[in-house]
A = this chain, B = another copy of it.
């Protein structure tokens, strides 16, 4: 199954045909490039797990489309704590930032292949063709919605609600909705949800005791009661 992802695509919650944890399906470079939607100028790049794609403060010169793997964008605080803004999976586009410099850094969660697409920023915008302009605007609006939903998730919600929502979201972006292979560590999840690893771990164990999920291994989650998860997430 090819990556059918379009920049002018659907609602943000639409299920994506993306491999969340594997290279099992990895498409050819040619196909990925033509499907990516960001134009002809792409070059495929590879990053090892935990390597840095760009840093907070770097000049902001490209947009990236993920071919395979998972990417996190994050910020490091003065006290050493890290906060994760988003996870991106195959088919997703990331790298939008307002100014000439990144305000977040992007890192590979596991081994990642992606296509970089140079963009000349807002200044040059409009000189490009219309379809391109629409795609970029559409993608940035989708990012905006994602970010808003993340903010809502972080405000005054219990650990159960956060973890349940996280699992629901990830499963909707995974090829197999009921058998979820998490690419990220507990620390990553904790930093994304504004919790500690201990709380994430305890909450997952509790969900397993409830028979809402089953933890085949630490990073493999089977969703047994999707409805219960959804209700928790509300």
Chain A contact residues, CB within 8 Å of chain B: 1-3, 8, 10-12, 14, 75, 77-79, 81, 83, 85, 96-99, 103-104, 122-123, 125-127, 129-131, 133-134, 136-138, 140-145, 147-148, 150-152, 154-156, 191, 193-195, 234
Cα distance A12–B41 in the bound complex, in angstroms: 31
Picked from B79, B96, B147, the residue with its CB within 8 Å of the CB of A151 is B147
A-B contact pairs, 15 of them (CB 8 A): A1-B10, A1-B11, A2-B11, A3-B10, A12-B98, A12-B99, A83-B152, A85-B148, A85-B152, A96-B144, A97-B145, A98-B145, A126-B134, A127-B130, A147-B151
Cα distance A194–B2 in the bound complex, in angstroms: 32
Q: How far is the CB of A53 from chain B (nearest CB, A)?
A: 17
Cα distance A116–B10 in the bound complex, in angstroms: 26
Note all chain B residues with C-beta closer than 8 A to A143.
144
Query: In the complex the two chains form, is A77's CB within 8 Å of B234's CB?
Result: yes
Nearest B-chain residue to A12, judged by Cβ: B98
Note all chain B residues with C-beta closer than 8 A to A104.
148
Note all chain B residues with C-beta closer than 8 A to A195.
156
**Contacts A3-B10, A99-B145, A155-B193 known; 13 new A-B pairs at CB < 8 A:** A12-B99, A78-B234, A96-B144, A98-B142, A98-B144, A122-B141, A125-B134, A126-B129, A127-B130, A133-B133, A137-B137, A140-B144, A151-B154
Picked from B98, B103, B125, B134, the residue with its CB within 8 Å of the CB of A123 is B134
Note all chain B residues with C-beta closer than 8 A to A2.
10-11
Q: A145-B97, A155-B154, A156-B195 are in contact. Are A137 and B134 (CB under 8 A)?
A: no
Note all chain B residues with C-beta closer than 8 A to A145.
97-99, 103
Cα distance A74–B196 in the bound complex, in angstroms: 27
Cα distance A148–B144 in the bound complex, in angstroms: 8
Note all chain B residues with C-beta closer than 8 A to A131.
126
Q: A83-B152, A154-B155 are in contact. Are A130 and B141 (CB under 8 A)?
A: no
